[in-house]
Amino acid sequence: MTGTDIPILHLDDDLVAVHKPAGLLVHRNAHAGREPFLLQLLRDLLGRRLYPVHRLDRPTSGLMIMALSPEAAAILARQFAAHEIRKAYMAVVRGFAPEAGVIDSPLKSESGAEAAALTEFTRLDTAEIPHPTGPHATTRYSLVRVVPRTGRTHQIRRHFAHIRHPLIGDVLRGDGRQNRFFREHFGVHRLLLASIELEFIHPGTGREMRLSCPPDQELLDLFKLLGWS
């Protein structure tokens, strides 16, 4: 993969917005070896230093922003830390989720301390397919729009597992039978979670910004197979 494979959605003097592919690391880590990562690819493409201000997990795809100066990074980081930036995601979960809801359940950090965590969601569509993956003759799924109001580690995955609607492709807290079914039946080997919207105050102009992007083509193809327009 090269930087030209990363779709750039917005670029100005203060920040760049990109569509991160699923499976791509944002930063280098000790286990990745010489594997390419997003910061390096964008640095090589733009010829500029970049300053990350938030993160997307490796298996999550979609919209992500990075600052192009320390000053812009500090302003955006403060907005993220204060939960002033509105983020929206799209996910596929097991079962028929409620039409809308709020998951208000504290989550433990790696240190073991509990922190408040709040996730809002709206069900966009459902699918029921005649392939049993358990005791029932059919299997049900929901497409949900998710707005996390806090930013805890793996919050969306942990919260939907908590209400027994785990995300498809979640290997840590998901349903192994469902994940295997999606690999074998649809050829999908990934977490079905995509960042689709960000609303924030531009660090240079002070204006309200709303950036959005559709899910990638692999997800759109899957949605079509499930009957979701």
Strand partners, 212: 197
Pair 93, 168: CB distance under 8 Å? yes
Token pair recorded at residue 185:
């039946």
* Distance separating alpha carbons of residues 22 and 170, to the nearest angstrom: 13
Q: Is 57 one of the catalytic residues? A: yes
**Which residue in 57, 125, 216, 221 is the catalytic one?**
57
Burial 169-181 (b: 16+ CB within 10 A, else e): bbeeebbeebbeb
Task: Tell me what percent of the chain is helix, strand and coil, each rounded to the nearest 5.
Answer: 25, 35, 45
Which residues are designated catalytic?
Answer: 57
